[in-house]
Structure 1
């Protein structure tokens, strides 16, 4: 495998990828930290009520606790808030990623870029397209449902087992960290897909009909991508990404059949 940095297409992608992934990471880090703080504040109130009662808490008793009901409501509200923010921020970022890489790729070809309403519609369709049976929005809300269940289980387990408040707070942090990692995986996967599809459209606009797969310069190169390195695809058949967190791409090639 050659050094991908030798390809101008890859250099354009790397610049945009780092810019957009880091911007989303900063934004999501902030909202996840705030959600964690709000949940832990309500969790502290629940523990204070339990200490004041002086009784051993059993599941049925916990469900009757007014503080626990408030904590459940807060967790649900925070989950919905996180999901809405993620969906909006990621959608806007992916659309911007697609348009930016298309523009810079076309400019490298020396072509003028005139963005039309039809182009905007096409870009939005591509951004919301399915990857392995679901689009990024579906995955965000699936992950939020999982996070809600993990947070509620964490609270119940901590209280019933008799963990200290500090131990319960650590469990909340662990759950939120796992939720953030799920969001980060979506971001990295979908930004790369938007980059590949944006460049794919630029290649099509310039008349190319075939592309060659380039595996990413990554120590974690998987067997799936390694097997495709150098493979020729019809331009509409090349996958946007092969798997979550994929960094592979493709470059345009002349249709060899035209010269036979």
Structure 2
């Protein structure tokens, strides 16, 4: 409880600071999207190479028929396949994809395998490794987003008040709780692996159709590339939406740590702003009543809205004090790195 006279900063101050924090997160997300793009580009090239080699081996310049794709491997081909499938299984064991591992183990026990099954096993492995890399990229990005948003928000609150507040350390477990929460029905990891299954099925359907229609290598590769681009677009939507969720949740934890009891919804107002966010702009809610997707962003995919702390006074603020019981003041001209180095070790609880 605070009985100190604290000058509350203007709404313009909070708007500016939260826009800066959101802007930094958007910049970080854009860099992450480039990493995901490179992973998809590499995987797409590998899959196209597999398809080209497949058509060169079993088809002709004009492609191949679906009947040719369903032909069983001969003895020599099957012998090579048994060696390849062992390698595929070892690679998939590293990804932790239990569903695909079961599929490959079942396939490896078969006495006969078609050319199409052979090709799809190769493609499945490529996609699983892509999704494993995507998950690792996401996790690193979201952990950094949570940490930065939490401490940047704490710094903005303290500098705005001119006084330090208590700071609860955002440890790895707290971050993992944010990341693993299925706030929209499933967390980011489950959505990534669901897309693996969806992309695999879509590519199999596309290849089946290409063989049935007698498409050549160029046409088949183009069709596959388009499906991969759709999956990449889904990945971009997911990373932007999850980034918004993580950053906003981290800010909420910073409010809670400081003793802030209310927050104000802040929409990014431009031509792209959804009607939902327009209606929510400037509305005030109790922190205890926050509901993600209802009164706390993100409200929808690609949501750019954020929140700012709302004060009706200083009641409830947890002001930090020195050994003599005096409030610790935070200079207005101090930057984030200086604050993090000088104040954070003293304030962290």
Q: Could you tell me the TM-score, scaled by structure 1's length?
A: 0.88
> Taking CA–CA contacts closer than 8 Å with sequence separation of 6 or more, which of the two structures ends up with the larger relative contact order?
2
Higher helix share: 1
Please report how far the alpha carbon of residue 41 of structure 1 lies from its aligned counterpart in structure 2 after TM superposition: 0.8
Q: What's 2:125 paired with?
A: 77
Change (3 A) 1:4 1:78: farther
State the distance in 1 between where 2:211 and 2:129 align: 26
Q: What's 2:341 paired with?
A: none
Please report how far the alpha carbon of residue 56 of structure 1 lies from its aligned counterpart in structure 2 after TM superposition: 6.4
> What CA deviation, in whole Å up to 9, does each residue of 1:194-219 have, x standing for no partner?
11111111111111111111112342
Confirm or deny that 1:89 pairs with 2:132.
Answer: no
Instruction: Choose the corresponding residue for 2:222, options 160, 170, 184.
Output: 170
Instruction: Choose the corresponding residue for 1:9, options 13, 18, 24.
Output: 18
Unaligned residue ranges in structure 2 (runs of 5+): 1-10, 74-114, 316-349
Instruction: Choose the corresponding residue for 1:224, options 249, 258, 276.
Output: 276
Change (3 A) 1:231 1:163: same
Q: What's 2:257 paired with?
A: 205
Please report how far the alpha carbon of residue 113 of structure 1 lies from its aligned counterpart in structure 2 after TM superposition: 8.3
Q: What's 2:71 paired with?
A: 64
Please report how far the alpha carbon of residue 132 of structure 1 lies from its aligned counterpart in structure 2 after TM superposition: 2.0
State the distance in 1 between where 2:154 and 2:146 align: 12
Change (3 A) 1:156 1:230: same
Q: What's 1:34 paired with?
A: 42
Q: What's 1:132 paired with?
A: 184
Q: Could you tell me the TM-score, scaled by structure 2's length?
A: 0.66
Unaligned residue ranges in structure 1 (runs of 5+): none
Q: Is the 8 Å Cα contact of residues 51 and 119 (structure 2) preserved in structure 1? A: yes
> What CA deviation, in whole Å up to 9, does each residue of 1:1-21 have, x standing for no partner?
x99995211212212221x21
Aligned to 1:246, what secondary structure does the other structure show?
A: coil
Change (3 A) 1:187 1:86: same
